[in-house]
């Protein structure tokens, strides 16, 4: 436009409104039960011979351990300590690593799974392999997630609307906080534990879940605001990434 003798203007960054912020979906116990029941019904598929064994463990692990999807996808056989029930998460967000203890129930599922899928597998192999020993793609995981969601009767709002796979991680955090509040635990002592367990880079990422928990479970809002008034106000945005 300058070459034509006309004034040119560059629209400032952020001038146009961004997409409406996504509100995480916190799965109810009934939704979790129905979803996992559908993963258990996953049948053998010649194109992906281990799919029926992978899916029930993969999605339970994401919820039960509050993992990011990429952390579960890229787990190696050597990262899963079946003797002690511990996951070794290497080079995750911002290249951080951490140890994630599993419940006894999940550890048993992983042992049963490993006996069938990895009886003689090298430790560098992927714990949840796709064809050719490669890790599952996010597209493959998402395709299966949507199928189980539909079969479980959990409505989906369309692309970008959710529920999302990452919401299992949000649900894990909220359920932990809800349980601790109901048990009368000191959250100022327990929040650092949750921060380390989930691999958060800052305390603000973890404190975000206090507001989310209070919003989802109104019955504990008064207890949260009464005991932790300085932690709850002003928490905005999503806690962390979606993959």
Known catalytic residues?
A: 68, 93, 166, 169, 200, 209
The answer for residues whose C-beta is within 8 angstroms of residue 90's C-beta and 6 or more apart is 79, 97
How far does Cα 32 stand from its chain's mean position?
13
Q: Assess contact for 239 and 209: CB atoms under 8 A.
A: yes
Measured distance CA(63)–CA(3) in Å, rounded = 58
Measured distance CA(182)–CA(194) in Å, rounded = 16
Phi/psi of residue 88, nearest 5 degrees: -105, 105
Q: In this structure, what DSSP letter does residue 151 have?
A: H
């Amino acid at each position: 436009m300058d070459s034509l003798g006309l004034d040119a203007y560059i629209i400032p960054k952020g001038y146009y409104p961004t997409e409406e912020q996504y509100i995480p979906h916190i799965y109810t116990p009934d939704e979790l039960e129905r979803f996992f029941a559908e993963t258990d019904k996953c049948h053998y598929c010649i194109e992906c011979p281990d799919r029926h064994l992978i899916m029930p463990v993969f999605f339970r692990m994401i919820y039960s351990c509050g993992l990011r999807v990429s952390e579960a996808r890229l787990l190696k056989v050597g990262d899963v300590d079946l003797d002690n029930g511990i996951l070794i998460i290497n080079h995750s967000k911002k290249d951080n690593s951490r140890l994630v203890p599993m419940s006894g129930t999940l550890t048993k599922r992983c042992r049963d799974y490993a006996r069938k899928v990895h009886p003689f597998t090298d430790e560098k192999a992927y714990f949840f392999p796709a064809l050719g020993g490669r890790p599952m793609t996010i597209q493959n995981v998402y395709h299966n997630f949507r199928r189980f969601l539909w079969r479980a009767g959990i409505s989906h709002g369309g692309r970008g609307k959710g529920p999302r796979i990452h919401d299992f991680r949000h649900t894990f955090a909220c359920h932990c906080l809800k349980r601790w509040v109901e048990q009368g635990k000191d959250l100022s002592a327990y929040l650092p534990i949750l921060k380390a367990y989930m691999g958060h880079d800052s305390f603000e990422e973890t404190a975000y879940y206090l507001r989310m928990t209070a919003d989802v479970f109104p019955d504990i809002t008064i207890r949260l605001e009464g005991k932790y008034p300085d932690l709850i106000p002003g928490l905005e945005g999503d806690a962390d990434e979606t993959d």
